[in-house]
Amino acid sequence: MSVALAQSVSVLPSGEGWWFEPKLDGHRTVLWREEGGVRLQSRAGRDVTSAWADLARAALRLPVGSVVDGEAVIYVDGRIDFSAAQGRAASSPARAARLAARWPASFAAWDLLSHPDAGDVRARPYVERRALLLEVLEGLGPPLQVVPATDDREVALVWHELLREQGVEGLVAKQALSTYRPSRIWRKLRHAETVDAAVVGYTGPPRRPRTLAVRLPDGRTVLSRAVSAPVATEAAARLATAGPGQTARTDSDQSYTAVETGLLAEVLAGTTRHATVTVARLR
């Protein structure tokens, strides 16, 4: 199932009809409660149930037919830790189980795509979907929780400042009457100084890419610095299905293998003036 996405903005939207939610810093996950079990899907469409088995077990309490969109997050010392979530997502089932024993995951739910009685609700307005989400998760408690939401922009801005120390990435703004569709229908205001860049290729072997070729918002194509092990593992999963690539060159004449990945990378904004960039994470 394709997921809705958010466009980064530098100012929180204002005016009638906007709702605001905290953006927790974790791994985007769609949770399916099916007959006989639970399935978790990454933003890229991969089955990640084994990496988040503790959430899958907790989600057995959901009514069959529920499909929930949200974020798998991990708290370390009372603070949301993206590195811990990234490490879990890239782990084997055995290692993920060991990590879960030390740092259990939580699921921050923010949208309902299918209701056990109403069926597919993606065509309904956001405010209706949220009401149904609250109904489905009512009484379940941690680790499955609905993110808070407000239609008061001033309250949202207070959240933006006060929740930063807890590891909250920023805010997401959604139109009250908007349907759920696979495009950049939301707006995201981040604390981090990052920009979104399209991943258009790599260097090194596809099973263990050394760097990623990214197309920056200004149109330049550059190579990243060496990516971290979790980023390499996540990228490799997508490269495995991208098919054979072609040799291409960046704007600074560096060679790379060009492929269509459909991936976005968060790139540290302070590095984009230079020939290489730093990939903070994949989206």
User: Which has the closest alpha carbon to 257: 193, 198, 202, 188?
Assistant: 202
Q: At 239, which helix (H) or strand (E)?
A: helix 229-239
Is the Cα torsion angle 226, 229, 230, 234 positive or negative in sign? positive
User: Is 202 in contact with 259 (CB distance < 8 Å)?
Assistant: yes
User: Which has the closest alpha carbon to 4: 179, 167, 133, 257?
Assistant: 179
C-alpha to C-alpha distance for 137 and 79, rounded to whole angstroms = 23
First to last CA, the chain: 15
User: Is 4 in contact with 111 (CB distance < 8 Å)?
Assistant: yes
C-alpha to C-alpha distance for 81 and 27, rounded to whole angstroms = 11
For 92-113, letters b (16+ CB in 10 Å) and e give eeeebeebbeebebbbbbbbbb
Please give the C-alpha separations between residue 166 and each of 55, 143, 190, 252, 282, in angstroms, as whole numbers.
Answer: 21, 17, 14, 40, 21
| Residue 23 annotated in active site | yes
Catalytic residue, from 23, 88, 187, 238: name it.
23
Give the number of other Cβ atoms within 10 Å of residue 27's Cβ. 26
Catalytic positions, written as ranges: 23
